[in-house]
Structure 1
Amino acid sequence: MDSVERPNWAPVEIDLGRPSIARVYDYWLGGAHNFAVDRAVGDKVLADVPVLKSVILNHRAFLRRAVRYLLSQGIRQFLDLGSGIPTVGNVHEIAQAVDPAAKVVYVDIDPVAVAHSRAILTGNESVNVLQTDVRDARGVLKSPEVQDLLDFDRPIAVLMIALLHFVPDDDDPRGIVGAYRDALPPGSFLAMSHAGYEDGEWDPSWDEARGTYNRGVSEMTYRRKSEVEALFEGFDLVEPGVARLPLWHPESPDDVDENAVHFLGFGAVGRKS
């Protein structure tokens, strides 16, 4: 793709001829920061796992509802871990629509997502973007991007949306969450969505779908509801606790259909006392 075809939001260091998982997700979410090569990959994965788009849209809808809830609780600082490309209905758009001074730090390890994010967010002085591994909580929390923007004397919301199911058990997801929790002041929150299922609910056909996703996108670990609840150790769960994603504070009855009670994933928000 030559310079004439390159839009102003696409950084020059990014090869637009190669697909990017971050831009594939942007495509699935209905965003405009993607190209034909990304759409081709996205369509191929959806052809094999058609339900995936609904799953991704439900995680994003949960993000919007969670951020609005956090804003209603007075939160004005957000640390979004594994953020991807912050375009469609993302944290800074929602938060700054309520309070233009709301602050957001986006963190992602994907250089494509980070490069696009920095280009998109140029000029927004209340948003920083950090490229690093979110598993390194100390590195994230001590970074200039976080320290220069967020005030750790005031409550902060940490967002882990569709993140920890990409962290295998060997990497100690509970320890990762605990490291962020311990650094937060009282009154802070954790919002999380996670792929998972109830005890005794596992369907062997899900293995095939997960295998297709693992090959086409990234390795994923489903966890039981009880395991997701354990990730909130040290937080007081907001009602209704760990719930199927569509059932966590739905915006209207129309948003909940007969499939909601069997949705393969959970969401929850917890407050540090």
Structure 2
Amino acid sequence: MSRDTEDGATPRTQRVPVGADPTKPNAARVYNYMLGGKDNYEVDQILAHQMLSVAPDTRTTAWFSRRFLLHAVEFAAEAGVRQFIDIGAGIPISPNVHEIAQKIEPSARVVAVDYDPVVHVHSNALLGSTAGVTAVLGDIRRPAAILEQLRAERLIDFDQPVAILIVGVLHYIMDDEDPAGIIATLRDAVAPGSYLAFTHATVDTHADFIDRSSSSTAGSSAQPRYRTRDEVAALLEGFDVLEPGVVTVQDWLDDDLPATKLVVLGGIGRTV
């Protein structure tokens, strides 16, 4: 048994969603609410406001994380990448990945991957008619299965560079679910000149926020695992890490943005 399981984290098999459960918070729906979206339930709003009661700037952190995602897409597209895999894509909110990528290169292809069947339905409804955009059901904790599907359906050409986006996801992966192994599997599958952009909440977050968010989400897909900066930085092993490195998402965007109680790091790596 892993340390996280001993400390109360829910084992992998119990964390896989089987459909919409309005009695348990969902990370994608909480994030949607924080960004002003309408695709969420009361239980998600309650958790969001519990977080906001401890850290009123959490909505600001969500916005910073979203801007980091779009910045990474723009960066990769301007570097010539024409394929994007958004893992843990969540419920689409404009501007979305494809809007940024296709503004730079109209032929850009985007695959939005999420493991929640309800999120997948939303994505299909909102993105299904958009040229070059495909929503697929897939679990980041099973990266080989995602890669196999993308190859089988010829959604991604892995002989060409691709940008993999994992924003707001990895801190929901428990230690026994092997986040480093997940990243390594994805890294080894892509061509040189590919990019990985990710975010991750850290233990530098305000202690009351960690306690509240952990206790309120126990047993749900929104249960977090906060990690140290060194643990987060280690996830980019094997990549050429772009400057300014693995730093707060604020530092990726602007030197003058305020610190927030929820501390989220961002990093971008390039395969060589």
TM class, shorter-length: 0.7 to 0.9
8 Å CA contact 1:23–1:38 kept in 2: the answer is no
Q: Which residue of 1 aligns with 2:252?
A: 248
| 1:192 equivalenced with 2:169 (yes/no) | no
Contact 1:140–1:146 under 8 Å retained in 2: no
CA, structure 1 residues 44+185, in 2 after alignment: closer, same or farther (shift >3 Å)?
A: same
Q: Which runs of 5+ in 2 are unaligned?
A: 1-18
Distance 2:21 2:211 in 1: 31
* 1:45 equivalent in alignment to 2:50: yes
**Runs of 4+ that moved beyond 6 A:** 14-20
Q: 1:15 to 1:40 in 2, by over 3 A?
A: same
Shift of 1:161: 0.4
For the Cα contact (< 8 Å) 2:200–2:266, is it kept in 1? yes
The CA deviation string for residues 120-154 of structure 1, in whole angstroms up to 9 with x for no partner, is 11222301111121111111011158742211111
Contact kept, 8 Å, 1:105 with 1:130, in 2: the verdict is yes
1:230 aligns with 2:234: yes
- Listed as ranges, the gaps of 5+ residues in structure 1 are 1-13
Partner in structure 1 of residue 128 of structure 2 = 122
Rounded Cα–Cα distance in structure 1 between residues aligned with 2:206 and 2:128: 46
Cα offset for 1:118?
A: 0.2
Could you give the per-residue CA deviations for residues 87-143 of structure 1, whole angstroms, max 9, x where no partner exists? 232211111122221111011111111001001112223011111211111110111
Q: Equivalent pairs: percent with the same residue?
A: 37
Change (3 A) 1:189 1:15: closer
The letter of the residue matching 1:137 is P
- The corresponding residue for 2:217 is 214
Matched, 1:81 2:80: no
User: Cα offset for 1:30?
Assistant: 2.0
Question: How much does 1:222 deviate?
Answer: 0.9
Whole-angstrom distance in 2 between the partners of 1:35 and 1:183? 34
**Does residue 1:107 correspond to 2:113, yes or no?**
yes
1:91/1:104 contact within 8 Å kept: yes
Q: Comparing 263-272 with 213-222, which one deviates more in the overlay?
A: 213-222
Matched residue count = 251
Which residue of structure 2 aligns with residue 5 of structure 1?
A: none
Pairwise CA RMSD: 2.7
Greater C-alpha Rg = 1
